[in-house]
Copies of this chain bind each other. A is one copy, B any other.
């Protein structure tokens, strides 16, 4: 199983929240950061869940990223709730930004009668603008008096910025005679007008799993999902993926064998949805590199091809431009002999062993002017392989990102 199609180890995800995933409440709606749109989600684990999370590696890190990392460490991975807002990234906002994130966490902790370190916060939206945190805490207070909930789909909508649609996925697995569920939602990775935005992913399971296992499974699932996608290569200041598992006596470690494929399938489905909704994207592109000397070199070659603006613009034009593809592999640092390499696009062999192969231009255009394109590069230097998911680069991307802020 390559994981390229959102399946792993037989697990398959559907692009919807799993109906029977219990243990979490979702409250979502507008708190007034955006004009007349949902911009706040409150996700409550009942009782407190175990949580593993990864955060952006950007040196410029938003206040919520810093606070959530710290809380997770101080609370030993015990999380009672997540507060997520869109419309404001609370990044590059100085000491006031730190205080805003802390005030949000403190308010949620008071309302849930838990420790502050059991609250994670996440933000996405404009950077450099003070976060109107009192609107958030006022909304949390109103919500705290409600018994019903809005559901994961409403939360998925509330965390969106320029995403054109919410992104949800679900899967299930069986262990010890019981059925467990994995659900998740995410928002787009394209850095976004007016300033920039963020990839946020939230994953949930009703399977009670021990923290070390949770961390390992998250790492493995990310390696075949969120870590495999690129829209424009820019890493946001607010990126975060959190995995919450229901409390309870931990399942045996053998559960990982069935949990990880389900988690990976959900994460991969969300990652695909993010790429498909990339700014200006018209095609979903899988770059597969085979025959590299090492896994690291396969990865570098796949990333170089997936990042190349020349490759991505050619794909936008349905141009079977193997020269750009091979050139990107050539500067990636992967060691290979171009005379032994091969390039395919949607099954057409374009280049093999040092030479261009003749192909019918009209036929090539028809085969590539489609929603989904697979580029396959065989380096002929070894047995390692890697893949990346990306999208084409269209004029709409430039239009979206060059528009002057209003």
Residues of A within 8 A of B (CB): 57-61, 91-95, 127-129, 191, 195-196, 232-237, 307-310, 313-314, 316-319, 321-324, 326-331, 334-336, 338-339, 351, 353-356, 361, 365, 393-395, 397-399, 401-405
CA distance A318 to B405 in the complex (A): 10
Q: Which of B60, B195, B313, B398 interacts with A329 by CB under 8 Å?
A: B60
Q: Contact: B318 with A398, CB < 8 Å?
A: no
CA distance A282 to B328 in the complex (A): 26
Oligomer copy total = 2
- Contacts of A58 on B, CB cut-off 8 Å? 327, 330-331
Q: Contact: A398 with B398, CB < 8 Å?
A: yes
Residue of B nearest to A403 (CB): B317
CA distance A240 to B137 in the complex (A): 61
Interchain residue pairs with CB less than 8 A apart (14):
A59-B336, A60-B329, A61-B330, A127-B356, A128-B355, A234-B308, A234-B331, A235-B330, A309-B309, A310-B401, A313-B401, A317-B401, A393-B398, A395-B402
Q: A323-B127, A327-B237, A339-B94 are in contact. Are A309 and B232 (CB under 8 A)?
A: yes
Please give the distance in Å from A65's CB to the nearest CB on chain B.
12
Please give the distance in Å from A20's CB to the nearest CB on chain B.
40
Q: Contact: B128 with A323, CB < 8 Å?
A: yes
CA distance A61 to B337 in the complex (A): 10
- Contacts of A307 on B, CB cut-off 8 Å? 233
Q: A127-B323, A236-B327 are in contact. Are A196 and B310 (CB under 8 A)?
A: yes
Residue of B nearest to A355 (CB): B94
Q: Contact: B234 with A317, CB < 8 Å?
A: no
Q: Contact: B398 with A324, CB < 8 Å?
A: no
Q: Contact: B318 with A404, CB < 8 Å?
A: yes
CA distance A356 to B323 in the complex (A): 43
CA distance A317 to B397 in the complex (A): 13
Q: Contact: B338 with A92, CB < 8 Å?
A: yes
CA distance A353 to B313 in the complex (A): 38
- Contacts of A338 on B, CB cut-off 8 Å? 59-61, 92
Q: Contact: B234 with A327, CB < 8 Å?
A: yes
CA distance A402 to B396 in the complex (A): 12
Please give the distance in Å from A189's CB to the nearest CB on chain B.
12
CA distance A91 to B338 in the complex (A): 10
- Contacts of A319 on B, CB cut-off 8 Å? 402-405
Q: Contact: A234 with B92, CB < 8 Å?
A: no
Q: Contact: B128 with A356, CB < 8 Å?
A: yes
Q: Which of A335, A393, A402 has the most CB of B within 10 A?
A: A402
Q: Contact: A234 with B60, CB < 8 Å?
A: no
- Contacts of A316 on B, CB cut-off 8 Å? 398, 402
Q: Contact: A324 with B59, CB < 8 Å?
A: no
Q: Contact: B60 with A326, CB < 8 Å?
A: yes
CA distance A73 to B92 in the complex (A): 53
Please give the distance in Å from A191's CB to the nearest CB on chain B.
5
- Contacts of A334 on B, CB cut-off 8 Å? 59
Residue of B nearest to A59 (CB): B330
Residue of B nearest to A356 (CB): B128
